[in-house]
Amino acid sequence: MSDAETAENLTTLAKHLAAQDLDPGLATVLEGLALGCKAIGHRVRRARIEDVVGVAGGENVFGEIQQKLDVLSDEVLLQCLRDAPAAAVYASEEQDGPVVLRTASEGGRFAVLADPLDGSSNIDVAVSVGTIFSVLPNDKPDDETGMAVLQPGRNQVAAGYVLYGSSIVLVLATEAGVDMFTLDPMLGDFVLVLAKIEIPQEKKIYSINEAYVNDFDEGLRDYLAFVHESGYGARYIGSMVADVHRTLLKGGVFIYPATGKSPQGKLRLMYEGNPMGYVIERAGGAASAGRGPILDRIPSEVHERTPVIVGSAAEVDHVTRRTHP
Ligand code: AHM
Ligand code: MG
């Protein structure tokens, strides 16, 4: 079979979006994000090589390169969204505030939020990193301040992430469900590899930075005692996209809790908690901020943080039943 024939038999992201009968404007936004992530993936692959070139300039160059990669990833996404006719607003971890791309009268119908390169410090040791994105409807058509991004995660119309791991994987959640694509380096396209993903309802795996145990509240320490006594396995990569991706496919629970040092948690509600919460909920799992679902949190500012407990419904319940009885 020739390459061309093989390609015809593969479901690319574009083909998949068209088949889903998705809002065409939303499809252009998602395709813009996917294009940006291909470019980011290429840069991630070359990061160390560029670092070697950069070392000639001085000892701190690695740190600067990392920052450059964060900023570069942000710029790439922004550029791709400028070219997506329905993108209204872009907000990210790297921007001070929302960037207005176009108003509703100019066709701007969706707000996009992203963590352009989550876990970027892991690039140093060739550990997986990722891009996380969230898409909300532009519910403030006449507003030019970009405050359309301040909506609860429950309003998301799509969310997902791209994992730059041993392969480049796109997980996309929409109203229709959660699908997984792998970037085929030969075709240069994301191709569908797993449709309608459902997270296992339970699995004895917990994922938390347990080194902070002395900074955890009593309920969480009770939970850790429970898992230690109950035959659980521990997995913690320290790169949220990789930890959540494993949790989605294999089950278990990923926890980044509030701690004494970070009473609101470390992870950002709009760029990390909401999109990952949406993916996990659409796949049949649970996503808690401790006191209630992450997706129900009403944001008061774009960079705010949240505790994150996501994964198999039964495993999330084991945590929240002890931390918030
Ligand atoms: P970043 O946005 O600065 O990259 O930090 C987010 C990362 C997540 O990927 C990961 O889950 C978490 O930080 C790990 O934090 P810790 O080192 O405290 O366990
Ligand atoms: Mg991050």
Residue range 286-299: mean pLDDT, rounded: 97
Q: Ligand 1 centroid vs 292 CA: distance in angstroms?
A: 22
* The most confident of 2-6, 7-11, 17-21, 81-85, by mean pLDDT: 81-85
Span from the CA of 15 to the centroid of ligand 2 (angstroms): 30
Residue with tokens 């404007």: 25
Question: Given pLDDT bands bounded at 50, 70 and 90, which one contains residue 70?
Answer: confident
How sure is the predictor about 48, in pLDDT bands with cuts at 50, 70 and 90?
A: confident
Residue whose CA is closest, atom 5 of ligand 1? 119
Instruction: Record the tokens describing residue 116, joined without a space.
Output: 């352009």
Question: In this structure, which CATH number among 3.30.540.10, 2.60.40.10, 3.50.30.60, 3.40.50.720 belongs to the domain 3-194?
Answer: 3.30.540.10
Question: CB of 135 within 8 A of CB of 159?
Answer: yes
The hierarchical CATH code for the domain 205-323 is 3.40.190.80
**Are the C-beta atoms of residues 70 and 63 closer than 8 Å to each other?**
no
Q: Which ligand has an atom closest to residue 246 CA?
A: 1
pTM: 0.93
Residue 57 — pLDDT band, cuts 50, 70, 90?
Answer: very low
pLDDT in tens, 214-246: 999 999 999 999 999 999 999 999 999 999 999
| Domain edges within the chain | 3-194, 205-323
Does residue 179 have its Cβ closer than 6 Å to ligand 1? Answer: no
pLDDT band at 208 (very low <50, low <70, confident <90, very high): very high
281 has a pLDDT exceeding 90: yes
